[in-house]
Amino acid sequence: MNVSRRALLIGLGAAGGAGAMYAAMNALGLAPGEQRSEFEAPRPSDFALRGKAAAKVIVLGAGIAGLTCAYELGKAGYDCTVLEASDRIGGRSLTLRGGDGLTDTTGERQTAAYGEGVYFNAGPARIASWMVTLDYCRELHVPIEPFVNSNASAYVYTSGMKAPVRFRTARADVYGHLSELLAKATSQGALDEAVQPADKQLLLDFLRQFGDLGERTTYGGSERRGFAVYPGVEPGAPLPPPPTLSELLGYQLAPALTFDLSADQAMPMFQPVGGMDMIVQALADAVGRDRIKTSYPVTKIVNVPDGVEVSHQDGTMKAAYCVAALPPHVLAKIPGNLDSSVLAALRVAVPFSAGKLGLEYGRRWWEQEDRIYGGITETDLDIGRIWYPSEGFHRPRGLVVGYYNFAGDADAYAALRHPERLEKALAQGERVHGAKYRKDLLSSVSVAWANRPHIEGAWANMPPSALLQEPAGRVYFAGDWLTHLVAWQAGAFESARHVVTSLHERVLKEN
Amino acid sequence: MNVSRRALLIGLGAAGGAGAMYAAMNALGLAPGEQRSEFEAPRPSDFALRGKAAAKVIVLGAGIAGLTCAYELGKAGYDCTVLEASDRIGGRSLTLRGGDGLTDTTGERQTAAYGEGVYFNAGPARIASWMVTLDYCRELHVPIEPFVNSNASAYVYTSGMKAPVRFRTARADVYGHLSELLAKATSQGALDEAVQPADKQLLLDFLRQFGDLGERTTYGGSERRGFAVYPGVEPGAPLPPPPTLSELLGYQLAPALTFDLSADQAMPMFQPVGGMDMIVQALADAVGRDRIKTSYPVTKIVNVPDGVEVSHQDGTMKAAYCVAALPPHVLAKIPGNLDSSVLAALRVAVPFSAGKLGLEYGRRWWEQEDRIYGGITETDLDIGRIWYPSEGFHRPRGLVVGYYNFAGDADAYAALRHPERLEKALAQGERVHGAKYRKDLLSSVSVAWANRPHIEGAWANMPPSALLQEPAGRVYFAGDWLTHLVAWQAGAFESARHVVTSLHERVLKEN
């Protein structure tokens, strides 16, 4: 959507409310309330019309941002070369399979021993339906499938609890107690100022359904909690009675019960069939493998009047433009002649830690015994959460993410070697799943993003930088860290599109 | 789980609370809080040990219940014959593909013209993870995939609204307003009797997160609502401001916002890859196709001292036992010598109407324009709801369920011929999706379950009948209608297991 349509809609929304905006959106042929910025890929005909030619571009970094820049520019015939410091493409979009090796900045080397068909998305693993990532899956013919981001049958386990509780049970109890409380306040007249008399009955009716309260508008449990024995020929056998409000508040359930309400985590979410790096591989194929050089770290980036000179192991390469699609804190360390204000802006970035552990089991006990088919168990332990696989249901093997943790918890695991990480995580997982958590374990790999060479962090937090949205001379910057979608592949795609548009406009004017 | 373990757990739960029960379940090697009744299939060795032989059994009806009886009994060598009145197996588990015909009791004939790879689950279409149906998928090697039962990007549309609203928006606004109200009552001391002083702050903290309220504990919108333009390089452009509490209550959102909280509808749910009838086909293969006779209506069922005589077009067939796996209201009409008390019990059943319309489109506009990938739009229109496909994402074609409605709404559509049903449903769907709802439509089929020969209803409601759980002479009864899972395939499976267990025990004793 171009700027004027966007401004029009925002203006209409503010002035005329939803009705006016939806009417306008309908007139423009748009679905209500879910748009992204429009993008038109450069085309060869853009040059033909103007009698100009595509330029040579060096892209630094073969992550999603870098590959997308080369892909989109390549559509119009730009001569792109992608230089990747590490020995594999994809950057943080890392899917590990049997035989894959991983050497950290600490020198520790792991090799995945996963069986046939088992994979571990060690980096990004889920896509929201509104994200541009899905458009690239469609364009690049990468099949997708649902990613189960939240599961009523998975557990919540916090230090306030005696034993793990299913999400469905926790949710039913919270909604029940809140509804009872609010019904009480409403009935007693405590909210007569906030609730119009005509709405009081509507509110009570709503709460009765929202909390499954029954006629007395008190919460005494609900079939929504699940059952000790599920119904069949016999009626279901109920679980033990719900906790009191006071017990429930002590469980500190808010983080677990609200994460999937956010715009970027709401169900359903999606994943590429076969592993997240299917997107990377499809992008690389579209760019042309011969244009991508791995194990090719850059040692210097110099703006010169008619181009950019990039130094590397084989000498110096020159191009009309350069796109630096590296993490900001890594880029800031590369020598060259970038302006000090630019370097200062890059150095504002704070790398953030995250870690993941991929546990391969020879039996899908979470499906067979716990009836958990995909989804996430949330804890307040140092493992953060346990993910169950959203694919390969009922197969003999499966991969469970034994931790996905952040900040201090991730740093603590990053400081350990893999065998210690594994032991620590298994001990925590046992608190949720009991002894079976150690049984049938076949192999494992852990990733500490802070220790990944040339990446050095799971993502980088920084305030929006107007300066870095613009090129520094002939060097452009691309990456999720430049967008409002930090840590999402969608941010890398959006940033790449922004750079491509801006670079192409300049080339059309300047050449 | 056998009765004594079940009773023990229920007792412990009631007496000792969750802690005692979970401890006991752990000791028994059981996952907390999600069990089904145990089942042991008959084995050939059951006879060998006792020097007895398997019996001959006639099964009436090749729906899930009938096929499962034949399948489970067949494991021990029972000689089963399945007689199906209609020309296809599966009963209500009906998946329609291109070329499939459908002739109703009204005489109207439809033929599906769906393209390659497009299918319409006209009957059951989703499976909860706790249901035994998944165990059969596993045992029979029927691959499953997630079924998107609720989608934050799908719409809610009720007569109180000017325009459809995304589920995520409706949910954010409801949780926000409710949290603000409850925070207000709590802060004002209105709930001091119900909320312990020590819990007050915990409750307020919870509400701040639950409603995304911010420090002032008032609701002024939230990123959870979604955006007019989603974030990228630019921050997201907000939607128009949220409705007032009064407007929101007028929308009557409770049915839409609570259906996926119930035990049988909570996310994630599942479907067989390729169509629901994959289960039926796998069952039929396991039973042996030669044991199943279609277009073979039964005209008389007579208990005789040493067996059951079943009359049909070719004469009379005799077996030691019969399992009647037909809808109760259909079974009640078949002549024979069933006891009048049994017939009276069958006649209590009330057939319930439901209808579905399968719209095939040549463009997946709901994905491309609305960013809806699977899930359900809920309305209070006579179409009930619109389902988007949970499979085939990004493919050229796709199948949308244009209505799934019940009772009076279903009867109204059932009374029309297909072209009129289609026109009526398209006019309703246009109110949600606008003019594009008619564009790119390729073909359609509608099913009115009340008009299906030999089925005559979507399901049958009846109170639990102890009488019909027992055999009437040598005739057993099987079907979802005999369980607490009416309308679910899981009910049919559970009932079949009950009958098989009971019949096999009798044979082992009697033979």
Token pair of A505, please? 């406009």
| Cβ under 8 Å to B: A residues 281-340 | none
How many angstroms separate the Cα of B397 from the Cα of each of A131, A142, A146, A342, B83?
22, 16, 18, 49, 37
Q: How far is CA A322 from the centre of its chain?
A: 27
Question: Per residue of chain A (511 residues), what is the pLDDT tens digit?
Answer: 333 444 444 444 444 444 444 444 544 444 544 555 689 999 999 998 777 788 999 999 999 999 999 999 999 999 999 999 999 999 999 999 999 999 999 999 999 999 999 999 999 999 999 999 999 999 999 999 999 999 999 999 999 899 999 999 999 999 999 999 999 999 999 999 999 999 999 999 999 999 999 888 999 999 999 999 999 999 999 999 999 999 999 999 999 999 999 999 999 999 999 999 999 999 999 999 999 999 999 999 999 999 999 999 899 999 999 999 999 999 999 999 999 999 999 999 999 999 999 999 999 999 999 999 999 999 999 999 999 999 999 999 999 999 999 999 999 999 999 999 999 999 999 999 999 999 999 999 999 999 999 999 999 999 989 999 999 999 999 999 999 999 999 999 999 999 999 999 999 998 5
Q: What's the confidence (pLDDT) of residue B216?
A: 86
A-chain residues within 8 Å CB-CB of B150?
267
- Judge whether B254 is closer than 8 Å to chain A, CB to CB: yes
Name the residue facing A233 among B258, B263, B498 (closest C-beta). B498
From B270, B260, B331, B273, select the one nearest B300 (Cα to Cα): B331
Name the residue facing B34 among A209, A371, A469 (closest C-beta). A371
Name the residue facing B210 among A226, A254, A464 (closest C-beta). A254
Token pair of B18, please? 């969750």
User: How much is the pTM?
Assistant: 0.94
From A256, A162, A168, select the one nearest B206 (Cα to Cα): A256
Name the residue facing A223 among B152, B262, B494 (closest C-beta). B262
Which chain A residue lies closest to B488 (C-alpha atoms)?
A232
Which chain B residue lies closest to A265 (C-alpha atoms)?
B224
- Judge whether A491 is closer than 8 Å to chain B, CB to CB: yes
Token pair of A380, please? 């307040």
**Beta strand B354-361 pairing with B441-448:** antiparallel
B-chain residues within 8 Å CB-CB of A185?
181-182, 185, 190-191
From B152, B79, B215, select the one nearest B388 (Cα to Cα): B152
- Judge whether B210 is closer than 8 Å to chain A, CB to CB: yes
The CB density around residue B237, as the number of other CB atoms within 10 Å, is: 18
User: Do A212 and B261 count as a contact with CB atoms less than 8 A apart?
Assistant: yes
Cβ atoms of A360 and A140 within 8 Å: the answer is no
Beta bridge partners of A360: A399, A443
Q: What's the confidence (pLDDT) of residue A466?
A: 94
Distance CA B178, CA A178 (A): 9
Q: Amino acid letter at B140?
A: L
Give the closest-approach CA distance of B159 to chain A in angstroms.
Answer: 14
Q: Give me the sign of the Cα torsion angle B203, B208, B214, B217.
A: negative
Contacts of B29 (CB under 8 A, 6+ apart): none
In chain B (511 residues long), the average pLDDT of successive 10-residue segments reads 41 43 47 65 88 90 98 97 98 98 97 97 98 98 98 96 96 98 96 95 98 93 97 96 97 97 98 98 98 98 97 95 98 98 97 98 97 98 98 98 98 98 98 97 98 98 94 98 98 98 94 52
Distance CA B407, CA A221 (A): 29
Give the closest-approach CA distance of A102 to chain B in angstroms.
Answer: 31
Which chain B residue lies closest to A16 (C-alpha atoms)?
B240
Residue with tokens 């072209």: B419
Q: Give me the sign of the Cα torsion angle B184, B190, B193, B196.
A: positive
Q: What's the confidence (pLDDT) of residue B53?
A: 82
The CB density around residue A334, as the number of other CB atoms within 10 Å, is: 19
Token pair of A309, please? 């000179």
Contacts of B1 (CB under 8 A, 6+ apart): A229, B9, B30, B35, B36, B37, B38
Cβ atoms of A372 and A151 within 8 Å: the answer is yes
User: Do A168 and B266 count as a contact with CB atoms less than 8 A apart?
Assistant: yes
Beta bridge partners of B83: B60, B293
Q: Specify the DSSP class assigned to residue B29.
A: T
**Beta strand B385-388 pairing with B375-379:** antiparallel
**Beta strand A307-312 pairing with B441-448:** unpaired
Percent of chain B with pLDDT over 70: 93
- The full DSSP string for A145-210 is EEE----TTSEEE-TT-SS-EEHHHHHHHHHHHHHHHHHHHHHTTTTTTTS-HHHHHHHHHHHHHH
Residue-wise burial string across B270-285, b where 16 or more C-beta atoms lie within 10 A, e elsewhere: bbbebbbbbbbbbbbe
From A367, A399, A368, A376, select the one nearest A274 (Cα to Cα): A399
Token pair of A375, please? 């989804």
- Judge whether A262 is closer than 8 Å to chain B, CB to CB: yes
